[in-house]
Amino acid sequence: MTEAELGNTQYFEVTPEPESTVHMVLETVYQALTEKGYNPVNQVVGYIMSGDPTYITSYKGARSLIMKVERDELVEELLRNYIAANQWDG
């Protein structure tokens, strides 16, 4: 890359799954992790950061379900909900 190119901001756009699908996946995974006694926040963060599906329990099909959604879509859904909950979206 040239120095001029390094000064430009890259634009990233995801072709997302419908929001309801990602939401449903996160809800199902959260419930499965909770029922198995795991901290769902820690486990989902571990999965998102590493891509290692073993952070997610296979209980109730949670592991196979979360692997059907791109990790960037999970982050986008979580961030969208965080922003809405904190009323940052004007």
Where are the chain's structural domains? 17-79
User: What residues contact 10, with CB distance under 8 A and at least 6 apart?
Assistant: none
Per-residue confidence band for 87, with pLDDT thresholds at 50, 70 and 90: confident
Tens of pLDDT, residue by residue over 44-73, are 999 999 999 999 999 999 999 999 999 999
How much is the pLDDT for 3? 64
Per-residue confidence band for 76, with pLDDT thresholds at 50, 70 and 90: very high
From CA 38, how far away is CA 8, in angstroms rounded? Answer: 42
Whether pTM > 0.85 for this model: the answer is: no
Per-residue confidence band for 22, with pLDDT thresholds at 50, 70 and 90: very high
